[in-house]
């Protein structure tokens, strides 16, 4: 076999090996995930819902120092739109009621874990520790 024929046969193989090496296998995103930590000394009860299901409100108690995640499963893998997540809580830690509602956004993720979610945190808003606010830890 002459050198020209060998090069003609080797070129497609080299290209295939190069392309295969540059492709990464990535898992499909199947969920929108929101992760929330409570960095206060207060227990915080929240009422939450995903925007695509406004009648399905649920409650969750964040004990002081805990964290959890919430997820929405997409109708199909790699769906390109996540619904908003609405969260209502009492922002006054002194026993008076000061209800706030926030709209949060999840990150697309292949699985449902705290680490993969868009991270938010409950913290005191000021040195008096009277009011609690939720902050976007992953603000980009």
Pick 57 or 21 by higher pLDDT.
57
Task: Confirm whether pTM is higher than 0.85.
Answer: no
Q: What is the pLDDT of residue 60?
A: 96
CATH of the domain at 132: 2.60.40
Q: What is the pLDDT of residue 11?
A: 56
Range of the domain at 47: 31-136
Q: What is the pLDDT of residue 1?
A: 59
Query: What residues contact residue 42 under an 8 Å CB cut-off, 6+ apart?
Result: 64, 93, 132
Name the domain count of the chain. Answer: 1
Does 54 reside within a domain? yes
Per-residue pLDDT tens digits for 27-51: 899 999 999 999 999 999 999 999 8
Does 5 reside within a domain? no
Does 8 reside within a domain? no
Does 9 reside within a domain? no
Question: Across the chain, how many H-helices and E-strands are there?
Answer: 1, 9
Coil, strand, or helix at residue 32? strand
């Amino acid at each position: 076999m002459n050198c020209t024929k060998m090069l003609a046969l080797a070129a497609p193989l080299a290209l295939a090996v190069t392309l295969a090496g540059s492709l990464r296998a990535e898992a499909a995103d199947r969920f929108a995930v929101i992760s929330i930590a409570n960095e206060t000394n207060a227990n915080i009860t929240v009422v939450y819902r995903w925007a695509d299901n406004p009648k399905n409100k649920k409650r969750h108690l964040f004990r002081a120092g805990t964290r959890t995640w919430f997820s929405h499963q997409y109708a199909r893998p790699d769906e390109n739109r996540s619904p908003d997540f609405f969260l209502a809580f009492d922002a006054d830690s002194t026993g008076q009621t000061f209800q706030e509602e926030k709209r949060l956004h999840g990150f697309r993720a292949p699985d449902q874990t705290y680490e993969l979610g868009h991270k938010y945190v409950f913290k005191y808003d000021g040195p008096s520790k009277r009011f609690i606010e939720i902050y976007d830890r992953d603000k980009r």
